[in-house]
Amino acid sequence: MKILGLDPGTAITGFGIIEKNNQGINYVNCGCITTCAGVPMPERLKCIYEDARKLIVKYQPDVMAVEDLFYFRNATTVIKVSQARGVLILAAHKKRVPIFEYQPLQIKMALTGYGRADKKQMQQMVKTMLSLNKVPKPDDAADALAVAICHAHSEKFLKSK
């Protein structure tokens, strides 16, 4: 099963692709979709959507796992990130890729067993679980891999939304 994990954002959306099989979980690729500050939001969302579609076409994931919004102090930020999540979900839906959503607490529990794990702990677990030589960079890509790993550990218990 190939899993596309996404950590949504309007400036940077992290993506991580892993493959789960009988032998375990294997790293495929990771990186970021980026947009430029100062560009009107509709153009940024179009870029995120188109780049997500390209990822889906290139890697042909069986499922997409996306980080759910949990809490933001700034209402403007939550609205913008929600819009980015929306276009990511639309891109997957249009390609008939099942979509799963995970809150940060669920992701941290799946990787570390501790819901308050910090970013460094999460990154080290991603590195360890995927047998990588170093922590994936940038942080958004590592976060997206964590979302994908969370799904790999949780998929048998969940149904697509």
Residues involved in catalysis: 7, 67, 140
Q: Can you tell me which residue has the tokens 């759910």? A: 68
Task: Tell me the CB-side half-sphere exposure of residue 59, using CA atoms within 13 A.
Answer: 26
The SS3 assignment for 136 reads coil
- Residues 43 and 50: beta-carbon distance below 8 Å: no
Q: Residue type at 124?
A: Q
Task: Enter the tokens of residue 133.
Answer: 């030589």
Cis ω before 138 (30° cut-off from 0) = yes
DSSP secondary structure, 94-125, as one string: HTT--EEEE-HHHHHHHHHS-TT--HHHHHHH
